[in-house]
Amino acid sequence: MKKVFLSAAFVAIGTFAMAQQNSQMKDMKMKDPAKMEQRRADHMEKMQSELNLSTAQVAQIKALQDKKMAERKANAPQMQAERKAKMEQMKAKNEQWNAEMKQILTPDQYTKWQSKKQEKMQDRKEKMMKRGMHDMPAKN
């Protein structure tokens, strides 16, 4: 009985945590500059009151944040290129895997294997949609 109760409690807590995370992810996806700037100002006010920061410290932190954002923007094309290269590498490995499987399996087995793979992919996609991840950018 104790184990059942603890299991139910963990499931409930996990569900609540996922719901919180999904709502935060939706907020981050909006990327409205005005909202982002307001959020940044609110965070700075909170830091200032919690840490008892001076105005000079606040200015230094803002400058540091601006520097970090500029670096991030400058590195964005490089990061995108690296991500694209990794995706191409994964795609090539996957194609090689499929070719090797095609040599091993009979045509009927290969067709069945491919259909099972497609079903699993569709199941994953549906689960992602249920979790609120359907707003993810499309593949290029």
- At 61 the pLDDT is 93
- Structure-derived torsion over alpha carbons of residues 60, 64, 38, 46, reported in degrees to the nearest 10: -60
Percent of the chain with pLDDT over 70: 73
d(CA 63, CA 57): 10
d(CA 90, CA 107): 25
- pTM comes to 0.47
d(CA 87, CA 32): 28
Q: Where are the alpha helices (DSSP H) in the chain?
A: 2-30, 33-51, 55-104, 107-130
- At 16 the pLDDT is 56
Contacts of 37 by beta carbon, 8 Å cutoff, 6+ apart: none
With tokens 């099972």, the residue in question is 116
Contacts of 61 by beta carbon, 8 Å cutoff, 6+ apart: 44, 47, 53
Sites in the chain below the pLDDT cut of 50: 140
- At 33 the pLDDT is 86
- At 140 the pLDDT is 47
- At 134 the pLDDT is 55
d(CA 99, CA 103): 6
